[in-house]
Amino acid sequence: MKMTKNRQQVYDTLVKSHTPLTAYEISKMLDEMSLTTVYRALDYLYEEGQVKYFVLNDFKYYYVSVEHKHFFQCENCKKLFVLDECLIEDYERYIEAHLGFKVSEHFIFFTGLCKECQELSQFSQKEVGV
């Protein structure tokens, strides 16, 4: 199969996005393209190894596979943040050397409170005298 115009548009949308996107979010950005067409394009791009996805709260979030990324989601505001720096290579080497596994890739997803929500929480606590 070849890279059609629709597939290229979906891929370009993911390349331009700093955060992973759902099929629905992509379809809203490409308002001339139906959600079904977006899903078909994503299926093709996934099968070709050009995109990856992870499932969060029953939604698939897609991102370009050539970029190695980790993620953080704020438990309060639900914003998804991309963590570009990876410090896990030493642990991969440990796993391979001590456990005999061959690591092909890893995926890390953190949750907690983002900086803004921490500041809002501290501000709210000061207002009520906590």
DSSP secondary structure letters along the chain:
----HHHHHHHHHHHH-SS-B-HHHHHHHTTTS-HHHHHHHHHHHHHTTSEEEEEETTEEEEEETTS--EEEEETTT--EEEE-----HHHHHHHHHHH---------EEEE--HHHHHHHHHHHHHTT-
Residue 128: per-residue pLDDT: 54
Domain spans, the chain: 5-127
CATH fold of 5-127 reads Arc Repressor Mutant, subunit A (1.10.10)
Nearest C-alpha neighbor of 65 from the set 81, 47, 79, 77: 47
Residue 58: per-residue pLDDT: 92
Convert the pLDDT of each residue in 110-128 to its tens digit: 999 999 999 887 766 655 5
pTM for the full predicted model: 0.76
Convert the pLDDT of each residue in 41-95 to its tens digit: 999 999 999 999 999 889 999 999 887 888 999 999 999 998 888 889 899 999 9
